[in-house]
């Protein structure tokens, strides 16, 4: 899957898919991440979703995931 992510905010952000799922609670993780995306810019992230299940994602900028910039995507 290729994720296309656009930063529509006013601060730099990135988008990281975590290698393991902690149910959306992680604020940091090991995984695959885009470059830092400036406001108004876009990036793509290729990630092979090997099996059905839940995959956690977050923004790695310090404090962002803790503030809610994270989630879980479900592959069926």
Establish if 36 lies at the interface with Cu ion (CB under 5 A).
Answer: no
Closest to Cu ion by CB, 40 or 53: 40
Establish if 72 lies at the interface with Cu ion (CB under 5 A).
Answer: no
In angstroms and rounded to an integer, the radius of gyration of the C-alpha atoms of the chain is 12
What's the per-residue H, E or C state across 44-65? Answer: EEECCCCCCEEEEEECCCCCCC
* Structure tokens that stand for 31 in this block: 């995984």
Among 13, 29, 43, 55, binds Cu ion (CB under 5 A): 13
Closest to Cu ion by CB, 13 or 16: 13
Binding site for Cu ion (CB under 5 A): 13, 59, 61, 64, 69
């Amino acid at each position: 899957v290729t994720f296309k992510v656009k930063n529509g905010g006013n601060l730099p952000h990135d988008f990281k898919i975590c290698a393991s799922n902690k149910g959306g609670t992680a604020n940091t993780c090991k995984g695959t991440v885009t470059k830092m995306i400036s406001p108004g810019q876009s990036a793509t992230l290729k990630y092979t979703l090997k099996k059905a299940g839940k995959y956690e994602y977050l923004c790695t900028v310090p404090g962002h995931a803790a503030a809610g910039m994270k989630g879980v995507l479900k592959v069926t």
